[in-house]
């Protein structure tokens, strides 16, 4: 794997069904309006931890970001998903992504859930699915999760999935809620796969 891209043409699945029937779908498979509506309705919650969600996205911004994300997916650079409920594949209740973080053979994942869908273990299940999907890709030997130390709920997820804390490092805060200390978690590809336990 060359730094910043996957070395093989094999790409992750565009649809990953979670145990509860929710689906992680490639971002381009979901209408822009559904994404805009979900983020715009939940800016106060999402904007605490996601710098791109600190204001309602415009249609122009959304179209530009989707085009960039499509190009990155097709080139094997990064893979952005949105999370849809079991009964509405055109609605958005969260999302996630996998992307190289500069280390050879390592993918980092991120995840988010809209406030009406929190407390059901969706973030844990989404992170578990992304972890397994990433580890099955050619050349990927480990997965990482980085989260700000102040984001206690997010930091509870990696150990549930078999990640170990590597270090805590300074990181410039991107949102007002962040403490500026990034927790770096890693899970190697070898070894047994833990079953995610929802809170």
One-character DSSP codes across 40-100: HTTHHHHTTT-GGGSSPPPHHHHHHHHHHHHHHHHHTS-EEEEEE-TT-TT--SEEEEEEE
Nearest to 111 by CA among 97, 131, 122: 97
> Token match 């070894």: residue?
191
- 142 neighbors 106 (Cβ within 8 angstroms): yes
3-state secondary structure of 196: coil
- Spell out the domains of the chain, with CATH numbers in brackets: 15-188 (3.40.630.30)
185, HSE (Cβ side, Cα atoms, 13 Å)? 21
pLDDT (tens, 9 = 90+) of the chain, 199 residues, equals 444 555 444 799 999 999 999 999 999 999 999 999 999 999 999 999 998 999 999 999 999 999 999 999 999 999 999 999 998 888 999 999 999 987 789 999 999 999 999 999 999 999 999 999 999 999 999 999 999 999 999 999 999 999 999 999 999 998 989 999 999 999 998 655 555 555 5
Q: What is the C-alpha to C-alpha distance for residues 174 and 47, in angstroms, rounded to an integer? A: 10
């Amino acid at each position: 794997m060359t730094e910043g891209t996957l070395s093989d043409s094999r790409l992750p699945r565009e649809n990953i069904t979670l145990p509860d029937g929710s689906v992680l779908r490639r971002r381009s498979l979901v209408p822009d309006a559904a994404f805009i509506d979900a983020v715009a309705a939940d800016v106060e919650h999402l904007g605490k931890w996601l710098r791109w969600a600190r204001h309602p996205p415009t249609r122009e911004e959304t179209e530009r970001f989707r085009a960039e994300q499509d190009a990155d997916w097709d080139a094997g650079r990064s893979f952005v998903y949105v999370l849809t409920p079991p009964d509405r594949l055109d609605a958005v209740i969260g999302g996630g992504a996998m992307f190289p973080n500069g280390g050879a053979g390592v993918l980092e994942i991120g995840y988010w859930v809209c406030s009406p869908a929190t407390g059901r273990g969706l973030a844990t299940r989404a992170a578990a699915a992304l972890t397994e999907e990433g580890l099955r890709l050619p050349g990927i030997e480990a997965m990482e999760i980085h989260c700000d130390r102040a984001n206690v709920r997010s930091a509870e997820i990696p150990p549930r999935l078999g990640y170990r804390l590597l270090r805590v490092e300074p990181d410039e805060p991107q949102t007002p809620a962040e403490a500026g200390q990034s927790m770096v978690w890693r899970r190697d590809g070898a070894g047994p796969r833990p079953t995610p336990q929802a809170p």
